[in-house]
């Protein structure tokens, strides 16, 4: 992974281990620091001098900051490669101050992450734009902010080889990762354009049945002939083709200008962003460093992603599937806000509640990091 001081220069693995050792020494020093501070400033503390995380101390007394744990959610899909590799290669952890830690956890799809974000169980999450907008709208515009992009592309409708036209989907079942997630909205939007009806978010009847289910279950269902296809993210597109004989009926890139549509963004809980803006900046430094690594060292990054996915899922991804999936993805800090605005219109048109998204983005910390490295800023439009 790139070093914290220079995001464009990949380090050696020995350098990565050296940084890990340095973090351990710093954490030992952090343990000793509070004891020394108490000994020196005991009378001040006894007089009622208080402190808050990262607030320092009154009257010049040196009271150490309380350690903070960043709870980060992401999906075990290659569309979340920034999170997968960033966690696996310690890029996020390497950019945190000594004593602060990262607590990662995985989810099946974005709507489950939305619930965790809005309940305060997550501080940040990599998720699809439809889910990010849902979290923003459900919280009255206060619960979350998009602070960076991550991935463009990497989703498709894969069907049984006998299906060669949209009309052949009538009377069939198509799977998506979860009701209301980015691929679910994409499928419903496309079916509408094909004049194929389907049950709405609240039920009803339609000519095509949509089945939200776990991606691993979708693969098994497709192999067994229980479903006719699925609109899924990578690597599940490659797996449905390579392991179950499916074919791509719709490459989602064909539906967007220049083939660019946002698949994954980094979202931060609004309260955490307000309370710990410095840590959000640290997290973003890890994000930028990881995306730089993914684009400048694709072979190494792909290998790291494969190792991490194997650890997360317990099953190695075939080399041919990994290569095919990786070729469908682009990694960028730009959230591609124009495609997200279109996603909002799509979700509304297929029956999902929506609302205004003014204030959805807070890209100032990201743009400050990009400017420091000589990169162009990104815009919320």
Asked whether residue 252 falls in the same domain as residue 302, the answer is yes
Buried b vs exposed e over 52-67: b needs ≥16 C-beta within 10 Å?
eebeebeeebebbbee
> Who wins on pLDDT, 324 or 313?
324
pLDDT at 201: 77
pTM value? 0.82
Q: pLDDT band at 3, cuts 50/70/90?
A: very low
Range of the domain at 286: 68-163+235-381
What residue ranges in 35-169 does DSSP mark as E strands?
A: 69-74, 101-106, 124-127, 144-153, 155-159
Q: How many domains does the chain have?
A: 2
Is 353 in contact with 179 (CB distance < 8 Å)? no
Among residues 34, 66, 98, which one ends one of the domains? 66
Is the pLDDT assigned to residue 61 strictly greater than 60? Answer: no
**Whole-angstrom Cα distance, residue 24 to residue 5?**
19
* Residues 141, 90 share a domain: yes
Last residue of a domain, one of 66, 85, 104: 66
pLDDT value at residue 188: 97
Same domain, 381 and 349: yes
Distance CA 96, CA 101 (A): 7
Q: Within a domain: residue 360?
A: yes
In this structure, the answer to whether residues 129 and 260 fall within a common structural domain is: yes
Residues 255 and 140 in one domain: yes
Task: Indicate the length of the chain as a whole number.
Answer: 381
Per-residue pLDDT tens over the stretch 81-138? 999 999 999 999 999 999 999 999 999 888 889 999 999 999 999 999 999 999 999 9
Mind listing the pLDDT tens digit for each residue in 354-363? Answer: 889 999 999 9
Residue 48 covered by a domain: yes
In a domain, 191, yes or no: no
Lowest mean pLDDT among 32-46, 246-260, 262-276: 32-46
Mean pLDDT of 248-260: 96
Structure confidence at residue 110 (pLDDT): 87
* Residue whose pair of structure tokens reads 């007394």 in the numeric block: 61
Per-residue model confidence (pLDDT) at position 330: 95
> Which of 43, 66, 89 is a domain's end point?
66
- Token pair 């539906």: residue: 255
Confidence of residue 42 (pLDDT cuts 50, 70, 90): very low
Instruction: Report residue 316 as tokens.
Output: 């190695």
The rounded radius of gyration (Å) of the Cα atoms in the chain is 23
End-to-end CA distance of the chain: 30
pLDDT digits over 175-186, tens only? Answer: 999 998 999 999
pLDDT (0 to 100) of residue 210 = 96
Q: Are residues 4 and 147 in the same domain?
A: no
Shared-domain flag, residues 358 and 335:
yes
Pair 44, 159 in one domain:
no
pLDDT grade for 46, boundaries at 50, 70 and 90? very low
Query: Are 13 and 96 within one domain?
Result: no
Do 54 and 144 share a structural domain?
no
Which pLDDT value is given to residue 71? 98
* Sequential DSSP letters for 160-214: -TT--SGGGGTT-EEEESSTTSHHHHHHHHHHHHTT----BTTB---SSEEEE--
Q: Above 90 in pLDDT, residue 7?
A: no
372 and 281 within one domain = yes
């Amino acid at each position: 992974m790139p070093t914290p001081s220079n995001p464009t220069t990949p380090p050696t693995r020995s350098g990565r281990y050296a940084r890990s050792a340095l973090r351990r020494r710093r954490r030992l020093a952090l343990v000793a620091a509070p004891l020394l501070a108490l000994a020196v400033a005991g009378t001040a503390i006894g007089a009622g001098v208080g402190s808050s995380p990262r607030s320092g101390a009154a009257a010049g007394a040196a009271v150490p900051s309380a350690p903070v744990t960043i709870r980060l959610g992401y999906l075990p899909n290659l569309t979340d490669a920034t999170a997968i590799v960033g966690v696996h290669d310690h890029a996020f952890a390497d950019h945190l101050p000594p004593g602060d830690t990262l607590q990662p956890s995985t989810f099946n799809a974005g709507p489950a992450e939305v619930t965790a974000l809005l309940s305060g169980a997550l501080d940040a999450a990599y998720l699809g734009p439809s889910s990010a907008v849902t979290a923003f709208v459900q919280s009255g515009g206060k619960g979350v902010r998009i602070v960076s992009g991550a991935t463009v592309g990497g989703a498709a409708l894969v069907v049984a080889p006998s299906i060669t036209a949209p009309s052949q989907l009538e009377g069939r079942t198509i799977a998506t990762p979860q009701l209301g997630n980015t691929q679910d909205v994409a499928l419903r939007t496309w079916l509408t354009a094909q004049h194929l009806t389907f049950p709405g978010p609240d039920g009803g009847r339609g000519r095509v049945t949509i089945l939200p289910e776990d991606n691993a279950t979708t693969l098994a269902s497709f192999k067994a002939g229980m479903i006719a296809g699925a609109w899924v993210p990578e690597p599940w597109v490659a797996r449905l083709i390579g392991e179950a004989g499916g074919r791509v009926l719709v490459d989602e890139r064909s539906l967007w200008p220049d083939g660019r549509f946002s698949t994954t963004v980094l979202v931060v809980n609004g309260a955490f962003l307000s309370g710990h803006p410095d840590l959000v900046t640290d997290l973003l430094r890890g994000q930028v460093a990881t995306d730089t690594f993914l684009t400048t060292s694709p072979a190494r990054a792909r290998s790291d992603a494969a190792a991490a996915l194997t650890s997360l899922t317990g099953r190695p991804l075939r080399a041919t599937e990994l290569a095919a999936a990786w070729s469908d993805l682009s990694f960028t800090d730009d959230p591609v806000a124009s495609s997200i605005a279109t996603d909002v219109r799509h979700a509304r048109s297929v029956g999902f509640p929506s609302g205004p998204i003014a204030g959805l983005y807070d890209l100032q910390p990201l743009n400050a990091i990009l400017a420091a490295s000589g990169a162009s800023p990104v815009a919320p439009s």
